[in-house]
Amino acid sequence: MAHVPEKNDYQYGFHDEVESVYDTGKGLNEDIVRDISARKEEPEWMLDYRLKSYEHYRSRPMPEWGADLSEVDFDNYTYYRKASDKPARDWEDVPEKIKETFDRLGVPEAERQFLAGSGAQYESEVVYHNMKEEFEKLGIVFTDTDTALKEYPDIFKEHFGTVVPPTDNKLAALNSSVWSGGTFIYVPKGVKCDVPLQMYFRINNEMMGQFERTLIVVDEGASVHYVEGCTAPTFSSSSLHAAVVEIIVKKDAYCRYTTIQNWSDNVYNLVTKRAHAAEGATIEWIDGNLGAKTTMKYPSIHLNGRGARGTTMSIAMAGEGQVQDTGAKMIHNAPNTSSSIVSKSIAKDGGAVNYRGQVTFGRDSAGSISHIECDTIIMDELSKSDTIPFNEIHNSNVSLEHEAKVSKISEEQLYYLMSRGLDEETATEMIVMGFVEPFTKELPMEYAVELNRLISYEMEGSVG
Amino acid sequence: MKTATKDYSTYKDALIAFSHGLKEPEWMLEMRLDALKNIDKLDPPVIERLRYNRWPLWEVPDLSGARSKNTIDPFEFIEDKADANRVVQTGKNTVIDTLSESLKEKGVIFTDIHTALKEHPELVKEAYMTTAVKPDKHKISAFHAAFMNSGLFLYVPKNVEIEEPLEAVFIQNSLIEDAFVKHVLIYADSYSKFNYVEKFLTKGEHKNATNIMVEVIAKSGAQIKYSAVDQLGENSTVYFTRKGFTYRDSHIDWAVGVMNGGNVVADFDTDLAGEGSSTDLKAVSISSGRQVQVIDSKVENYGNHTEGNIFQHGVILDRATLTFNGIGHILKGAKGADAQQESRVLMLSDKARGDANPILLIDENEVTAGHAASVGRVDPEEMYYLMSRGIEKTEAERLVIRGFLGKVIQAIPLKNVRQELVETIERKLTSR
């Protein structure tokens, strides 16, 4: 048998000693919701919205399906923690310790090299946000969501909560009551932002709850590519990340949303992501899930306008103690819409990776098509995988094709590569890289390199 | 899922009298009374994408023990063939019960379940709701165990191979109001091999709760070809359990035409317990009118090198609903197991609803599993081909659909049953 190398530590698992400017202590109650709103100097309607959401959160039971959430202890999280006074536009103005963190994560470097704009959230607040001047001149708004509420109140109020209402699920209700930070993007009519905008999310303390709220509005004929990344320190106690992401893509516009989720393996990652596509619009979720203890995330697209297109391309890797319960939803509400779902999953060292999906063709979806592909590799005896897709059709003039495969690493491929002189480990890694290639090739070059490195690191020690 | 609660304990005395009236052995009565206590404690099975808590499935059958008045002429539904090996039941009564002398001599038992309970109590006791389905599995099985009021027992001894098909016909008596709780127990002993063909029909228009359970137990090396055409009536609300259990190297081949008129849960499930055992489950269905038919096909691979294939094709018309849940479950330790499935749905109406939910639950890595599902309209290329050969559109469509449902038609060994399925398909298709 091949030599089993030691598994390295999660390289982003470091914790920094950063004093908070303010936090609300453990647990949540109505006063804390009011406190968060007051500190943010929000308009009355937002406070009402938060309070109503809080009521719904309290009355709503936990989801009974999906991953096991019985160990999520809502009373032990800190729901709001502020680490710096206000978002800086220059890294030099970011508190030194926090800047060091993001330096170690390579965020400023990436911004200089290939991004149109970049932001960084630390705990509950955005600490840095900037966009290159050339893009600002085009009228693109790229800021944190709190600032957007103050500076763009009309466009904010028009769209906020219209895609994911607080009543959608318990975690969405929680987010709606305590949301803080997140990204706001508005791309004006006809403006094409060819270079990605990036946001980086970092949790630093243990038992922290991060509830960022992202709202992206892409106006008619415009286009944007947004990238998010996330990491956290490794602790024995859990943290909770419950984001809500809403995307509105108007007529003939385009939006791609790329996520590389690499939380440390003590984070519950329970995220609601949904997008509305108008006539002729295109939305693409590129969703990579590598980290977290438990993920429940099913990016969805409502194809509401004639000829709208939706794509979800995802990979999920679950290692020891991890549950990646992810998937996709495509709701065809208009004629001649099309959707495509490609999901690639890998389970190893006792991890569980599940695909859960929903494709619906409504009454008015004549001429629509959907193609769904789910492939899974189970690396070893300890690991497992469920594939649970639902396909619901209410129109006779549509076409849906669904395929899925689950297997271990192909022995034929392994044999072939090893007969060419590769050792088992290299051969296995090569097969896995080939398996996830449809995903990595969709990433900007720098991310693809990083992701390949991450996967290669995840695969270490998996043969033996 | 909540269903309307009912105090089933009030039926205890009637149930005891009913069981005594049929001279059932003591263990059977005990099983009934145990199950009776459990009905309220258990939940109905979860069927994905279906809420059936309001379905009228919980009517208790007439327990007075009176032999129901027989006003149904079975020859309205079957041919008069004196030499056929068959059991025909109308309502609770067995009206035809013929088995050739040569098969009797070989030890084959093919008779109604209460006769079997008297003549072969040990065999029935060994197999009845002990292996494939246990009474406390869920609310439906508990209800069934408590109120089962008629049925069939088929036993094929070791090494016996039967060429000619064994035929069972069940005609639900809906000329009267009475719940239909029918049990079919098929016990294939080691290395036996046979064909079994089954029909379920309804006579009459009463709205009757229908709880049917078929258990098929395949001992080592047994090979069973099971085919069925279900044509229960429009006013019958049905929970139909078909459950197989396989020992080492055995095989069950299911081919079922689900062509009922009313609302139906078809819960088809096979446990591949023994190493090297396998099953093919083929189901075809047409939903029409406003009916809801849900076909929940499940194969659970427990043993090493077990192989399960699910094949489901369906056509939906009018305002009907047809749901295919295909569930392949490979359990931990089932090395070399294979779970495959294919579900295809043809939508012929914009007011209909079709669901194809192919689910794979995999707890083991040395396996292969796959599924394919599709939903769409009649293949325009096939239509074009046929029409370019001078066939009219409606006729071409019929031919394409018949081909689409063909796998189950081909699997039926009896010509007249095959013909009947084709006629049922034609009737359902032309009713729109």
User: Is B369 in Cβ contact with A393 (below 8 Å)?
Assistant: no
Q: What are phi and psi of B331, to 5 degrees?
A: -85, 160
- State the DSSP code for B67: P
The whole-number pLDDT of residue B1 equals: 54
Closest by CA position to B267, among listed B321, B327, B348, B223: B327
CA distance linking residue B64 with residue B265, whole number of Å: 28
* Chain A nearest CA to B314, separation (Å): 13
Q: Identify the pLDDT of residue A295.
A: 97
Which of A383, A397, A405 shows the shortest C-beta gap to B370? A405
Q: Is residue B241 part of a domain?
A: yes
Name, in order, each residue with C-beta under 8 angstroms of A269's C-beta and a sequence gap of 6 or more: A241, A261, A263, A289, A291, A292, A293, A294, A295, A296, A297
Residue B234 lies in a domain: yes
- Asked whether the beta carbons of residue A389 and residue B359 sit closer than 8 angstroms, the reply is yes
Domain count, chain B: 1
Compute the average pLDDT of residues A114-118: 90
Interface touch B369/A406, C-beta < 8 Å: yes
pLDDT level of residue A236 (50, 70, 90 thresholds): confident
Report, as an integer, the average pLDDT of A265-273: 96
- Separation of alpha carbons B246 and B250, rounded Å: 6
Number of residues assigned to chain A: 464
pLDDT at B297 over 70: yes
Q: Does residue B414 sit within a domain?
A: no
CA distance B34 to B113: 20
Give me Rg for the CA atoms of chain B: 21
Q: What is the pLDDT of residues A131-147, one digit of tens each?
A: 999 999 999 999 999 99
Nearest CA in chain A to B370: A405
Tokens representing residue B368 in the block: 């292969």
Inside any domain, residue B316: yes
Question: Cα-flanking dihedrals φ and ψ of residue A394, to 5°?
Answer: -125, 20
For residue B231, tell me if it sits in a domain.
Answer: yes
Q: Is residue B149 part of a domain?
A: yes
Residues in a beta bridge with B323: B294, B355
Instruction: Dump pLDDT digits (tens) for B366-420.
Output: 999 999 999 988 888 888 999 999 999 888 988 899 899 988 888 888 888 899 8
Residue B333, token pair as written in the block: 């330790």
Q: Dump pLDDT digits (tens) for B305-356.
A: 999 999 999 999 999 999 999 999 999 999 999 999 999 999 999 999 999 9
pLDDT tens per residue across span A349-394: 999 999 999 999 999 999 999 999 999 999 999 999 999 999 999 9
Query: Nearest CA to CA, how far is A455 from chain B (Å)?
Result: 20
Cross-chain residue pair B359–A398, CB shorter than 8 Å: no
Contact present, A228 and A216 (Cβ < 8 Å)? no
A-to-B residue pairs, Cβ atoms closer than 8 angstroms: 116
CA angle B195, B324, B240 (to 5 degrees): 50
CB contacts of A383 in chain B (<8 Å) are 365
Which residues in B have their CB inside 8 Å of a CB on A? Answer: 48-49, 332, 345, 347-350, 352-377
Confidence label for B68 from pLDDT (cuts 50, 70 and 90): low
In a domain, B89, yes or no: yes
B385, part of any domain? no
Whether B374 sits inside 8 A of A402 (CB atoms) is yes
Supply the range of the domain harboring residue B265: 9-65+79-378
Burial of B392 (0-12, 13-18, 19+ CB in 10 A): exposed
Tens of pLDDT, residues B223-234? 999 999 999 999
Per CB-CB distance under 8 Å, the chain A contacts of B357 are: 388-391
Q: Say which residue, B113 or A446, is predicted with more confidence.
A: B113
CB contact under 8 A, A393 and B375: yes
Helix (H, G, I), strand (E, B) or coil at A426: helix
State the best of A387, A396, A408, A410 to mutate against chain B, taking most chain B CBs within 10 Å.
Answer: A396
